[in-house]
A and B are shown apart, each in its own frame.
Chain A
Amino acid sequence: MPNKNTFLGKANKNSLKGLINYGIIVVFFAVITIVKGAGGLSNALEGQLIPICAYIIMALSLNLVVGISGELSLGHAGFMSVGAFTGVIVAGAMKYHGVNANAPRLIVAIIVGAIFAGAAGILIGIPVLRLRGDYLAIVTLAFGEIIKNVLNCLYVGVDAKGLHFSVTDEVHMDMAANGTTLVRGPMGAVGISKASTFLAGIILIVLVLFVIQNLVNSRTGRAIMAIRDNRIAAEASGINVTKYKMIAFVTSAVIAGAAGALYALNYSTIVPKKFDFNTSILVLVFVVLGGIGNMTGSIIAAALLTVLPELFRQFQDYRMLVYAIVLILVMIATNNERIRAFWKKLTGVFSGKKGGAANE
């Protein structure tokens, strides 16, 4: 390795890792497009394309918090929910005011959904990020539940004068007779005019990858990972812990919000209950199975675990059970000291050179 330590050599290596991920997405898109053109895509699978994109984005988003920042967020579906509902409201209001084209509605919905989810991220991050470990996880869970409960009480309508809100019922929205109800409490968002497309999903994934990978390979990303590895040493090295935890958390919330808007605008109705604790855990399963901190793994795991249950419908009942077992086994396999030592030995055999250098 002649240029191992030259700056360019290193930069190339990092961008190569990132390029693989873009490659996977492009290949995925190409394959699906070709298969679809040849009529080889079942209806069930075609219906899953946009959810797959949304879940890939969710997994990337959660991996930023769990893998890069090293904190467990158990309320990530909450951010998705905020993005989904603000997105649906915005898209619905635009439609009501005569914007019928899907592309601008989707783009605005995603942007607004991302912004609101980001705002929720800031609001939640301020108290949450002062806590550590288990407490942080349980509080994110609590926030996810709070968001769900609040959305369950939310009524939104649109008329010529603009948006109307109520937390009690539709009547209290005080909306003109010719207005449209967009969100109906526990019934959720109704009468959504679909705007999401598979292409839009793919573009969003690429954008998200771009942001995450460039963030991780920067001084900001390094600082976030340093805090994860050793908070006290990071502080002693002059790293502002709260600031960088916040950057990771809010970026992740923004991305989850975008995913939520993309997801919601693929359906005609969406209920708040869709984004409950189970959805947060589902995304966590993607991240854990793909490898904590491994973005490529998150993409593949999210795609496969969204498609596979569709293909094996007869095993539907066992799906969550299998996920549970997978969570336990993967965690033990990757964290048990003895098993890890065994893996190290095994990989050491195959890359003897590198191991030798490290053990001098």
Chain B
Amino acid sequence: MLNYLISGISLGSVYAIIALGYTMVYGIAKMLNFAHGDVIMVGGYAAFCAGTYLGWPVPLAILFSMMICTILGIVIEKLAYKPLRSATSLAVLITAIGVSYFLQNIALLIWTSNPKAFPNMVNFIPSIVLNKGTGSEITISSTTIVTIIASILIMVALTLFTGKTKIGKAMRAVSEDKGAAQLMGINVNATISVTFAIGSGLAAIAGVLLCSAYPTLMPTTGSMPGIKAFTAAVLGGIGSIPGAMLGGILLGILEKFAQAYISTQLSDAVVFAALIVVLLVKPTGLLGKKVMEKV
């Protein structure tokens, strides 16, 4: 029971980091960046190549991965999404799906579909053993601890960033009203670029953490966690940073419990069913605010 809870929180923390990327992009660019999950995959491969092929030390490999993803995020936004700023959400979403497929298939060509065994990059602190000597020992692995700490740090940093810094305030202004923000002298395009950069940089961290916990890296590695993290963002209330955190952790716990008590095969179905229930009961999510439609 407790170990399911712990592994759920661990998985949920990864979802939370991915969900933060979704929620920021959705809040500011008002678009569902379907390719976000695949940026995670690219982050995983980048770290893998730097660490395994080039033999770089772990911190450098992670930094490299973040850099690649940040650039990738900015490039995707510039090439694919920016031309569609005034298009319907249908058009933007289809484009985002196109980008997602593009990344997956490029990865397929470069790294083939053979899974890569990802080395654990985050086991640099000792694991904790609970109930030592009682016979029902529970080990909290180093990866789990690092993942949870990382997600909390990221959430706090992002909250401070959007609340205190100038560019963070600009981001909030753009998310409230693009037109008004522009009139106030905020560079909307630059702000959206920064948002994509941050979201994608976080995706790289999520990629490393995800692959360290589940060490098979494939071109499709990012897509399911990506969709689930979006679910988490919706669950918590899209646009809300603590919401993404809460949604991610709840979803992770739900998934682990469903795997344990219902069926491994149906755990995804349970997670998605939760999404549907939440959207029906509270379409704005747990911590989201209601937005009135302008007529």
Stretch of B62-70, B227-235, B239-247 lying at the A interface: B227-235
**B80 is an interface residue with CB less than 8 A from chain A:** yes
Quick check: which of A23-31, A126-134, A208-216 contacts chain B, the rest being far away? A126-134
A71 surroundings in chain B (CB, below 8 A): 90
Interface check A150, CB cutoff 8 A: yes
Contact (Cβ within 8 A) B90 A328: no
**Minimal beta-carbon separation of A107 from chain B (angstroms):** 32
A127-B276 CB under 8 A given contacts A133-B89, A328-B80: yes
Say whether A150 contacts B269, CB under 8 Å. Answer: yes
Establish whether residues B263 and A153, one from each chain, have CB atoms under 8 Å apart when the complex forms: yes
The distance in angstroms between the C-alpha atoms of A236 and B152, with both chains bound, is 47
For A149, the chain B residues whose CB sits under 8 A away are 265-266, 268-269
- What's the nearest-Cβ distance from chain A to residue B177, in Å? 19
Chain A residue with the shortest CB-CB distance to B105: A321
- Contact yes or no, B98 A138, CB < 8 A: no
**Pair A336/B87 contact, Cβ less than 8 Å:** yes
Q: Are A281 and B263 in contact (CB under 8 A)?
A: no
Determine whether B71 belongs to the interface, using a CB cutoff of 8 Å to chain A: no
Within 8 A of B (CB), among A278-299: 281, 284, 288, 292
Q: Which of A156-181 contact B (CB under 8 A)?
A: none
Contact B99 A328 (CB under 8 A): yes
B123 within 8 A of A: no
B91 touching A331, Cβ below 8 Å: yes
Chain B residues lying within 8 Å of A103, measured Cβ to Cβ, are none
Interface residues on B, range: 35 or more
Asked whether, in the complex, the Cβ of B102 is within 8 Å of the Cβ of A139, the reply is no
Instruction: Report if A142-B102 is in contact (Cβ < 8 Å); known contacts: A72-B90, A331-B95.
Output: no
> Would B93 and A327 count as touching, CB distance under 8 A?
no
Do residues B272 and A145 form an inter-chain contact, with CB atoms below 8 A? Answer: yes
Which residues of chain B are near A74, meaning CB under 8 Å? 97
What's the dominant secondary structure at chain A's contact region?
helix
How many whole Å from A130's CB to the nearest CB in chain B? 7
| B129 close to chain A: CB less than 8 A | no
Min C-beta distance of A244 to chain B, whole Å: 18
Please determine whether B88 and A135 come into contact, CB atoms closer than 8 angstroms. Answer: no
Q: Which of chain A's residues have a CB closer than 8 A to the CB of B89? A: 133-134
Judge whether A328 and B95 touch: CB under 8 Å. yes
A142 pairs with B231, CB closer than 8 A: yes
Please, what's the 1-or-0 string for A303-332, where 1 marks a CB less than 8 Å from any CB in chain B?
A: 000000000000001101101111110011
Interface of B is mostly: helix
Q: Is the C-beta of A137 less than 8 angstroms from some C-beta in chain B? A: yes
Asked whether, in the complex, the Cβ of B106 is within 8 Å of the Cβ of A332, the reply is no
Q: Does A141 belong to the interface (CB within 8 Å)? A: yes
Contact A146 B95 (CB under 8 A): no
Nearest CB of chain A from residue B207's CB, rounded to whole Å: 20
Decide yes or no whether A70 CB sits under 8 A from chain B: yes
B83 at the interface (CB under 8 A from A): yes
Are A138 and B88 in contact, CB atoms less than 8 angstroms apart? no
B275 within 8 Å of A (CB atoms): yes
Given the complex of chains A and B, what is the CA–CA distance between A152 and B265 in angstroms? 8
Residues of chain A within 8 A of B97, CB atoms compared: 74, 281, 284, 327
B101 on the interface (CB 8 Å rule)? yes
Q: Give chain A's interface residue range (CB within 8 Å of chain B).
A: 35 or more
CA distance A153 to B269 in the complex (A): 11
Whether B279 contacts A139 by the Cβ 8 Å rule is yes
Known pairs A134-B32, A138-B32; A153 contacts B266 (CB<8 A): yes
Query: In the complex, which residue of chain B has the Cβ closest to the Cβ of A146?
Result: B269
Give A127 to B278 CA distance when docked, in angstroms.
11
Contact of A320 among B90, B92, B99, B101 (CB under 8 A): B101
B contact residues around A135 at 8 Å (CB): 234, 279, 283
Mark B96-125 against chain A: 1 for CB-CB distance below 8 A, else 0.
011111101110110000000000000000
Contacts of B283 in A (CB 8 A): 130-131, 135
Within the assembled complex, what's the spacing in Å between the Cα atoms of A141 and B234?
Answer: 14
Given contacts A320-B105, A328-B80, contact A138 B230 (CB under 8 A): yes
Q: A337 contacts the other chain (Cβ, under 8 Å)?
A: yes
A288 touching B105 in the complex, CB below 8 Å, given contacts A127-B280, A138-B234, A336-B87: no
Could you say which of A70, A131, A146, A232 contacts B90, with CB atoms under 8 Å apart? A70
With A127-B279, A130-B280, A142-B272 given, is the CB distance from A335 to B91 under 8 Å?
Answer: yes
**Of A134, A137, A327, which one neighbours B95 at CB under 8 angstroms?**
A327
Residues of A within 8 A of B275 (CB): 138-139, 142
Residue A334 CB within 8 A of the other chain:
yes
Q: Is A302 in the interface zone, CB < 8 Å from B?
A: no
Instruction: Write the chain A residue with the least CB distance to B86.
Output: A337
Query: In the complex the two chains form, what is the Cα distance from A293 to B295 in whole Å?
Result: 27
Judged by a CB distance under 8 angstroms, whether B273 is at the interface is yes
Which residues of B lie under 8 Å from residue A325 when comparing CB positions? Answer: 98, 102
Q: How far is the CB of A38 from chain B (nearest CB, A)?
A: 38
Shortest distance from the beta carbon of A294 to any chain B beta carbon, whole Å:
15
Interface centre among A134, A141, A146, A323 (most CB of B within 10 A): A134
The answer to whether A323 and B101 touch (CB under 8 A), given A138-B234, A146-B273, A332-B80, is: yes
Closest 9 CB pairs of A and B: A327-B98, A142-B272, A324-B101, A335-B87, A324-B102, A328-B98, A321-B105, A149-B269, A335-B91
User: What are 9 A-B interface contacts by the 8 Å CB criterion?
Assistant: A66-B90, A134-B93, A135-B279, A142-B272, A153-B266, A321-B102, A321-B108, A327-B98, A331-B91
Known contacts A134-B89, A152-B265, A320-B104; can you find 4 more A-B pairs with CB under 8 A?
Answer: A128-B276, A131-B283, A135-B283, A318-B105
